[in-house]
A and B are shown apart, each in its own frame.
Chain A
Amino acid sequence: MRKMLLALVLGLTTTTAFAAGQHDASHAATSEADVDRTIRVEAGDMWFDPEGIEVAPGETIRFEITNTGNIEHEFVIGDAQAQEAHREMMQEMDGSHGDGHEGHGGHDMAEGAHGGEMPAVTIAPGETAELVWTAPGNVERLEYACNLPGHYESGMSGNIDIRE
């Protein structure tokens, strides 16, 4: 049992920073100094590791997402409803992204429900991409997901619980 718990801790390769300064929850450009914490995420075929994270409202996170799978994945942050809308759009487009979502590893926005935008990044197999994001103060739960057709349904999602 102890061995297993250790494995679980190692599995969550998060490094906690002590600073938890004030940030507003906008998507404004964030400098290196503003990052409170780096969370490494593994995107495999068809899963994310870790399968869920906890953040504080206003915390700025740098996600380092490594695609260890054989096919392309994306990492999108948004609420469940917006993720579903994005997923439906992707399926209609047969898996290809629209404008500005072509490049691998670049910062991007995915279109969610009602034209809202979600922070998103696409990662080619073997590559690592970064996404800096600040947790909003007005919601309790968001999801990170890959919405390429069938990927979310196969298990590529995780919850972001936002609490003090």
Chain B
Amino acid sequence: MASSRVITHPLSRRQILKGGAALGLGSAAALGLRPSWANPWGQTNIYSKGIEVGPEVSLAIRRESIPIDGKEARPFSINGTSPGPMIRLKEGQDAVLRVTNLLDEPTSIHWHGLILPPGMDGVPGVSFPGIAPGETFTYRFPVHQNGTYWYHSHSGLQEQLGHAGPLIIDAAEREPFRYDREHVLLLTDWTFEDPMSVFRNLKTAEGYYNFQERTIADFFADVREKGLSATAEMRGMWAKMRMSSRDIADVTGSTYSYLLNGHSPEENWTALFQAGERVRLRVINGSAMSYFDLRIPGLKMTVVSADGQPVQPVPVDEFRIGVAETYDVLVTPEDDSAYTIFAEAMDRSGYARATLAPREGMAAEIPERRKIADRGMEAMGAHDMEGVEHAEMERGADGDREGMDHSTMQGMDHSNMQGMSGERSRMNANGMLAAGAAQPGSRYDQAGIGIDSGERRVLVYRDLKAFTPWPDRREPERELELHLTGNMERYMWSFDGKKFSEVTGPIRFNKNERLRLILVNDTMMEHPIHLHGMWMELENGQGELIPRKHTLNVKPGERVSALITADAEGSWAFHCHLLYHMDAGMFRVVKVA
């Protein structure tokens, strides 16, 4: 087995002791089955679904009966587990990943966030033909990066049924933090329904999974608070957008079981530590459709990495993780007690939960779930957003951009948004905003709907700051603006009002150009936008220290931008990472030539 390979690192006596401690305390599931090892910076290699250590790894994809949350289920499995095992590579290696399809349908694996040759990216129809039943495809690529990533199927809706796993790449050089122990926390949303029928339900009945719709009781409560005319007006606006103000998520806890490392809240997966240790938690949102708000009551978390890339440390109490994003956080539990890792679904319809404890079998209190947020509150100016509300209302949600009033976009420039006035004056020679400046209409100082930054310190995009400037310091030569569009009622999702099936050709990037991609969200939902093959440098106002991401969360009505160095020749997928949005048409091919 690949995982039995001995990793040769010079170990000091102290690190050997640490390794021993890890062995003595390690997850019972992993112990005895998997070796534990430590490297000079204190990594421990424990993951409850098993580990495959590179550079050569073989993966077998099956569909089999594996109980989930104690109930009968038929997920996709990778080497016999679902979600799949952790794949562990090392920066500088030449990875050889053999994927064997033991299904009766085609499959694929995409290495999310990895910079690699286009033929190795794993998107059927874009990078390669896919892996036919009975076939083995060998992915070969040099590993030029490190950090926390993940892998998943890019075929149909397979990802929904556990066809995913963590991909961890150890750094060749010292990382900008130290720690004694690490754990991977992979968040997923499992359904016992057939994903095809979930998709059909969404297409035929908007709000099918939304049992938190406003009721007549809410209406009277609103009338009491806001008066009759304001209430009626608000309801009218939402009706016009063919949405409900409680469309926080389109697939909810009414069908989903939220899992952490494949385990339900009741199963209480436990991550172990010794008091006083600094623990690195590698958090991956491998969900199909669910954003999570994660906190560990009683512990401050220090965010040290976003999407696998190191960032200057940010101490927080809670952070929101969009679908496909990853964050690494450090925690230092000082006492010998248990802590709840609480990842609440953004729409508050459920949660994933695990426990951080010095021993197996311990538990801490589970926080009360918060109430569902109401998008009406956000749009009605609860966040200094005068101007935005009108823009959002007039744009509607049907992807019809003709009716959009661009003058209201101008209006937003004067609204009270943090740090904008200074940046607006910084234009480059082409009359564009200077590299790294935040676009007017961005809300990088807000975490998003239903999360109260007054109550506790919450991570926002504005906090993310690299240690050093990324290598390409060129100003953008060109701007490319794309609108995120959709029709909730007909469950049509698209870019610029056109579904993938309706577009004639790819989005073209000129080879080696420096490009600014502007994303304007015309819908009232969050969209995690993922570009394959190239980094997106999120222009969050941090100047030359803007962070590098593979997935950008774009909030409703928001306008965000990223700089891209188009150095990866070939065809790449570009899409919303909400699985059913992608399948409904929010997908494009980017061609770099």
Contacts and interface: CB of A to CB of B under 8 A. Distances in A.
Is the pairing of A and B real? yes
Interface of A: 3-4, 7-8, 44-47, 69-71, 91, 149-151, 153-155
A155 B332 CA distance: 10
A149 B178 contact: no
Interface in B460-499: 467-468
A154 B12 contact: no
B12 to A, nearest CB: 6
Contacts of A153: 278, 300, 302, 313, 315, 330, 332
Contacts of A91: 315
Nearest to B467: A70
B316 to A, nearest CB: 9
Contact of A46 (B10, B176, B315): B176
14 contacts: A4-B10, A44-B174, A45-B467, A47-B177, A69-B176, A69-B467, A149-B314, A150-B304, A150-B312, A153-B315, A153-B330, A154-B176, A154-B178, A154-B302
Given A149-B313, A150-B304, A151-B313, 5 more contacts: A46-B304, A150-B312, A153-B302, A154-B304, A154-B313
B139 interface: no
A154 B467 contact: no
Nearest 5 A/B pairs, CB to CB: A150-B313, A155-B178, A154-B177, A153-B302, A45-B176
B179 interface: yes
A71 B467 contact: yes
Nearest to A45: B176
Nearest to B11: A4
Interface in B131-185: 174, 176-179
B302 A47 contact: no
B313 A46 contact: yes
Contacts of B313: 46, 149-151, 153-154
Contacts of A44: 174, 176
Contacts of B174: 44, 47
B315 A149 contact: yes
Contacts of B179: 155
A128 B215 CA distance: 66
B177 A46 contact: yes
Contacts of A46: 176-178, 304, 313
Contacts of A154: 176-178, 302, 304, 313, 330
A70 B174 CA distance: 14
Contacts of B467: 45, 69-71
Contacts of A151: 313
A113 B174 CA distance: 33
Given A46-B176, A46-B178, A155-B179, A150 B315 contact: yes
Contacts of A3: 10
A153 B332 CA distance: 8
A91 B468 CA distance: 22
Interface string B1-41: 00000000011100000000000000000000000000000
Nearest to A91: B315
Nearest to B278: A155
Contact of B12 (A4, A45, A71, A149): A4
A69 to B, nearest CB: 8
B12 A47 contact: no
Which interface residue of A44, A69, A150 has the most chain B CB atoms within 10 A? A150
B139 to A, nearest CB: 33
A151 B177 CA distance: 8
A144 B10 CA distance: 27
Interface in B173-232: 174, 176-179
A91 B463 CA distance: 13
